[in-house]
Structure 1
Amino acid sequence: MLEKRDYVDKIIKKAIKQTEKYKDIGELASYIPELANVNPDSFAFCLVTVDGEVFSYGESEKIFSIQSISKILSLIMALHDNDPISVFDKVGSEPTSYEFNSLVPITDKATNPFINAGAMTTASMVKGANVDEKFERILAYYKKLSSFEDAYLIKDIYESEMETTDRNRAIAYYLKSKDIFSDNPNDVLDLYIRNCSIATNVCALAKTGAVLANKGYKPKTKEKLLSKKEVQIIVSQMATCGMYENSGRYLMEVGIPSKSGVSGGILGVVPGVCGLGVYCPRIDKSGNSVRGIELFKILAKDLGFTIFIN
């Protein structure tokens, strides 16, 4: 558990101050036009303990699209609707050195659930009569997981991505050609893009992380949302595959299971302690928030958040 609130608050504020030198490093994800319209200097951070205590800083209520952090949701729902063996018969579980939107790490199946091909695969395993029903199930579950009842589909982001998603469309059709799924590839792609376009904020991310940190139980209410097996799968995949092709180096240098998105968000999990959420939209070439990584790196050291040292 964390130390006294004043102590934690002091450490976090100091860490945020130390990362100000990184606020101008990186670029916006301009290949998605709507993501190029955000304020590049935005910053927000939130920490939520497994007891439900909230520490928030900066523009903590600012809405942004969840992007690839939604791949956690697709994996969760796939695990809810299917047993783990069936899920990982369709998608692998190993890290990759290739970009998240590459076709290379697709042999018999996508390498892991956190590259685009893997998330399309898990999205195809979500049950529902049509895309609308599947998405409403995913959105409703995220509202419960994150305690963010205001989550919604950001229409401008969704439309912007659908207009510029030729590479992902190719991936969807390639997966269909490999018999990974039998659904219409356009429907699978549509659901995948909708998931990426969910509205969130850093506290919603941190509260989601707190559920994972709390063995699947919601802080305070103790409502069980995930089985221990599901938590084990999700957090281990975050640790090994959550930061795109830089996951191994990130795990070595930071040691916090995390999942990033190209909008500039990162969700982190410190098992037994807390969930973390950060938003800073300038990203590196791999798609990870530059300042967000540096903040997590400092907190891992100063608050002992790395999973490798007790």
Structure 2
Amino acid sequence: MDLVEIEQKLKAAVKDSEFLKKEGEVASYIPELENVDKDNFGMALTTVKGQTLAFGDEKIKFSIQSISKVINLIMALEDFGPEKVFSKVGTEATAYKFNSLIPIDEKVVNPFINAGAITTASLIKGGDVEERFNRVLAKVRELSGSEDVIFLEEVYNSEMKTTDRNRSIAYYLKSKEIIEGDSEEILDLYVRNCSIGLNVRQLSEIGGVLANGGRSLKDGRQLIDKNVVKTTLSLMSTCGMYEESGRYSIEVGFPSKSGVGGAIIGIVPGKCGVCTYSPRLDKFGNSVRGKKVLAEISETLNLNMFIGGNNGNF
């Protein structure tokens, strides 16, 4: 299958999903997210050879929200190693909502619920919040192959004003001695990371790097240790779509992570990274139209990892 045929199938999937453009609601509990055009849609696919196809609102930057949890996990593993990280955060899926306090005992159930991401954010090294956040921005720029990565201050301010539940989670984690350091500073970093602004092209390139075993798409340098990639993709596959992760895995069949800003990043190991952006969400916090498009291209491009055979000849 050449790029022309892949492009045709991607366009067909986008067209077939148009009936969903008015279904779902934006994440109104963060006021600034209500200000986006609810009908925006963009998608991009980047192969491990560095070729990118993009459609729709491909240049619009949006806050990555919970997709930042992938970056938090990668950096925590790089900074402290798996033994330290997984002494505080588990590896199992959960039926509870992403902002729940329930699945916290001696450790947090997984790194992709809010409590888990606050914990992994606490394991990003740096002298203060600014230094830590600058390291995160540098990592995102390196993985996306773009210096044009922005901080959406309006989203950050809006979220900080309405983040009482996450604040309670951070203080509870501190009381359980799961996180170390100042709870407010850790919460600040977590929300800053959620407020990073990217477009679908940039996110699909990050997906492409992960699909390429952590190697740069430009020069082949190892940007992420391959064992960190393995761990990250495994957890994305089982926990990346919140309570819907199991069903999503059946219908789409490759590791993905959603964010309530409306984006979904997906990784087909050895093949490509893909990103969709559509702000209208279902009750789980996943993009309604994004899921539909990813399920369609998974089928038409043979990308489901659990079927076998030639999973997409890129």
**TM-score scaled by structure 2?**
0.97
Q: Does 1:136 align with 2:134?
A: yes
Q: Which amino acid aligns with 2:7?
A: D
SS at match of 1:82: helix
| Alignment partners' CA distance in 2, 1:218 and 1:44 | 24
* Equivalent position of 1:264 in the other structure: 262
Q: 2:206 aligns with which of 205, 208, 214?
A: 208
1:55-134 matches, within 5 Å, as 55-134=53-132
Q: Does 1:195 align with 2:199?
A: no
Q: Which amino acid aligns with 1:226?
A: I
| Alignment partners' CA distance in 2, 1:113 and 1:97 | 14
The CA deviation at 1:248 is 0.9
The CA deviation at 1:221 is 1.5
Deviations 1:154-174 (A, max 9, x none): 100000000000000000000
| Alignment partners' CA distance in 2, 1:63 and 1:257 | 23
The CA deviation at 1:83 is 1.2
| Alignment partners' CA distance in 1, 2:111 and 2:179 | 14
| Alignment partners' CA distance in 1, 2:6 and 2:301 | 8
SS at match of 2:150: coil
The CA deviation at 1:148 is 2.4
Q: 1:280 aligns with which of 278, 281, 284?
A: 278
Q: Which amino acid aligns with 1:77?
A: M
Q: Does 1:15 align with 2:13?
A: yes
* Equivalent position of 1:180 in the other structure: 178
| Alignment partners' CA distance in 2, 1:7 and 1:175 | 50
| Alignment partners' CA distance in 2, 1:231 and 1:139 | 19
| Alignment partners' CA distance in 1, 2:179 and 2:288 | 35
| Alignment partners' CA distance in 2, 1:63 and 1:253 | 28
Deviations 1:160-208 (A, max 9, x none): 0000000000000000000012211101100000000001110111000
SS at match of 2:119: helix
Q: 1:5 aligns with which of 3, 19, 28?
A: 3
> Which consecutive unaligned segments of at least 5 residues does structure 1 have?
none
| Alignment partners' CA distance in 2, 1:305 and 1:158 | 35
Please provide the CA RMSD for this pair.
0.7
SS at match of 1:179: coil
SS at match of 1:56: strand
| Alignment partners' CA distance in 1, 2:146 and 2:288 | 26
SS at match of 1:186: helix
1:20-39 matches, within 5 Å, as 20-39=18-37
Q: Which amino acid aligns with 2:74?
A: I
**TM-score scaled by structure 1?**
0.98
The CA deviation at 1:137 is 0.2
| Alignment partners' CA distance in 1, 2:202 and 2:103 | 31
Q: Which amino acid aligns with 1:190?
A: D
SS at match of 2:154: helix
SS at match of 1:136: helix
Q: 1:218 aligns with which of 201, 207, 216?
A: 216
